[in-house]
Amino acid sequence: MEATRPLFIPVILGTARMGRMSLHAAQLVAREIGQHSGVDTELVDIAQLPLPTNDAGEAIKDPVFAATMDRADALVIVTPEYNHGYSGLLKHVLDSCLKEYIHKAVGIVGVSAGPFGGTRVIQNLLPVMRELGLVTIFWDVNFSSVRKVFALDGVLLEQDYRWRIDKFLKELFWMAKTLRHGREHVALD
């Protein structure tokens, strides 16, 4: 059964800001995932999730988002860097699940207007990933000076990013397959 079930790797767009250039990065990564046979994906836009803000955690779980996380074998999180951190809404969304993430792989894509490509937000997300039970890969994608990487309509201007995304996805797919095997066949005791 395991060999025939495709991997499912949704891409989470981690910002709801107007004019977000991270949308283009998330769409590009989703398209690149879609080029691979045996891997399904979809773009999860946190701006579209109807989560209340007067409570938090599993109490506000959205059933569609939770089902998507449950089905996932791995996640890609595309996050812009805001004052060295991630958006509050991204954390709010991620905190609405837990069981759905356990022992699944996650790769992080950082996006910034400046030269560092979201390296600081990625570092700040790592301990959050661990506490959610996700397993991070150690290849990131860093979109630096993102306004030069994409045209305003989303066209990719720097083709080198395809190679970087390919390296990132290869490790993510390996980790997703390995962890799926572990979740389903390697017992704790």
By CB under 8 A, is residue 2 in contact with another protein? yes
CB 137 within 8 A of CB 104: no
By CB under 8 A, is residue 182 in contact with another protein? yes
By CB under 8 A, is residue 1 in contact with another protein? yes
Residues 106-165 binding another protein (CB under 8 A) are 133
Instruction: Give the one residue of 16, 60, 89, 98 binding another protein; rule: CB under 8 A.
Output: 98
Considering the complex, state which of residue 122 and residue 175 has its C-beta at the smaller distance from another protein.
Answer: 175
Q: What is the 3-state secondary structure (H, E, C) of 73-133?
A: CEEEEEEECECCECCHHHHHHHCCCCHHHCCEEEEEEEECCCCCCCHHHHHHHHHHHHHCC
By CB under 8 A, is residue 102 in contact with another protein? yes
Considering the complex, state which of residue 24 and residue 180 has its C-beta at the smaller distance from another protein.
Answer: 180
Instruction: Tell me which residue has tokens 């506490």.
Output: 131
By CB under 8 A, is residue 166 in contact with another protein? no
Lookup: tokens for 89: 């809404």
By CB under 8 A, is residue 3 in contact with another protein? no
Considering the complex, state which of residue 99 and residue 147 has its C-beta at the smaller distance from another protein.
Answer: 99
**Options 38-46, 76-84, 167-175, 179-187: segment touching another protein (CB under 8 A):** 179-187
Side chain identity at residue 162, one-letter code? R
Lookup: tokens for 136: 């991070």
For residue 49, what are the CA distances in angstroms to 27, 52, 103, 168? 18, 9, 24, 27
* Closest of 154, 157, 110, 162 to residue 136, by C-alpha: 110
By CB under 8 A, is residue 53 in contact with another protein? no
- Number of chain positions touching another protein (CB under 8 A): 23
Site residues, another protein (CB under 8 A): 1-2, 5, 57-58, 66, 70, 97-100, 102-103, 133, 180, 182-189
